[in-house]
Chain A
């Protein structure tokens, strides 16, 4: 190669080199920012998804707890429709007692107060009434996820009570923490 061609090559190399370094610097910041952002977004989405499962579990346990308390109260006292109505209203309204009862289950499971409070702050207590059906002689009460118990009354007196769903209550097959998906750099 003659000297002239060499000179051209050196000049071209320098130009390409400078251009590449500029591209390198520009992309560097972009990649770094994009990688951090996409990782954070995907982490937040996954954490939120898990939190929702624990929120649903907490609210289910609140309904479950109220339902047991209601069954016990009705069976302990006057077994009448009016006693049912009074007990249900009192149980739903006493939010401190509801929290205490749910917290008791979590404490007995070995879940510490900090974790419980974390879930409670997101979940609160179950929304709305647990009374699903309120016909004159027939009541249906929610007792957690996919759990319903039934009270039958005749002339204001308790005639039938089916709380088998509470005895068989099991969330293990209904709520699941999904494994995290793959990270995507988009």
Chain B
């Protein structure tokens, strides 16, 4: 009788161990899958974010460059410059410094242009001063130079 119990217990044990044999593989696979999924999900999220943020930054960067390069070909005075700025950035306006004969356009702190003009013109009827004779467009901020050109005296908008 005693022997019978032992043999039953042993047989149960044998099946138990067989079950363990199959389960242990599943455990390791699950652990590995969890690690893989956590690591790759983190990488996917982080790298997608970098890709997207840089692509978004390019949108503003290229428009600022486009203003600078088009200005060198078409702009004669600050009225022209204002129209060009509005074409790419309808919500942002540059400001003239009559004293320095410059116009500063800042789409963001990283996207700044400083145009230099040759002379000041005054509308005889309204007395509003503007700048004419574009000489150069400074893009040092776009080139990554930390010190941004500053139009010291942010004066009248000039035209509209």
Which A residues lie at the B interface, using CB under 8 A? Answer: 1, 3, 6-7, 9-10, 13-14, 16-17, 20-21, 23-24, 27-28, 31-32, 34-36, 38-39, 42-43, 46-47, 50-51, 53-54, 57, 61, 64, 68-69, 71-72, 75-76, 97, 100-101, 103-111, 115, 119, 163, 166-167, 169-172, 175-177, 179-180, 183, 185
Q: Which residues in window 23-42 of B have CB below 8 A to A? A: 24-25, 28-29, 31-33, 35-37, 39-41
Selected from B21, B44, B145, the residue in CB contact (under 8 A) with A100 is B145
Q: What is the CA–CA distance of A103 and B61 in the complex, to the nearest angstrom? A: 13
Please state if B110 and A6 are interface contacts (CB–CB under 8 Å): no
Give Cα distance in the complex from A69 to B10, angstroms.
Answer: 82
Contact residues in A for B118 (Cβ distance below 8 Å)? none
**Chain B: minimal CB distance from A21 (Å):** 7
Report the separation of the CA atoms of residues A31 and B25 in the bound assembly, to the nearest whole angstrom: 6
- Docked-complex contact B137 and A177, CB < 8 angstroms: no
- In the bound assembly, the distance between CA atoms of A69 and B139 in angstroms comes to 9
Alpha-carbon separation in the docked complex, A7 to B7 (Å):
8
* Count of chain B residues near A, Cβ 8 A: 61
On whether A105 and B58 interact (CB within 8 A), knowing A180-B41, A183-B37, the answer reads yes
Interface centre among A13, A46, A170 (most CB of B within 10 A): A13
* With known contacts A13-B14, A177-B48, A180-B37, A72–B57 Cβ distance under 8 A: no
- CB <8 Å contact, B58 and A170: yes
CB neighbours of A166 from chain B (8 A): 62, 65-66
Q: Which residue of A lies closest to B21 (CB)?
A: A24
Q: Of all chain B residues, which has the CB nearest A73?
A: B139
Contact A76 B136 (CB under 8 A): yes
B68 at the interface (CB under 8 A from A): yes
Contact of A115 among B50, B62, B109, B145 (CB under 8 A): B50
What residues of chain A lie closer than 8 Å to B18, measured between beta carbons? 20
Q: A10-B3, A42-B36 are in contact. Are A104 and B58 (CB under 8 A)?
A: no
Q: How distant is the Cα of A34 from the Cα of B143 in the complex, in angstroms?
A: 50
Within the complex, what minimum Cβ distance (angstroms) separates B143 from chain A?
Answer: 5
Q: Contact at A20–B51, with CB atoms within 8 Å?
A: no
Among B33, B54, B72, B144, the residue within 8 A (CB) of A75 is B72
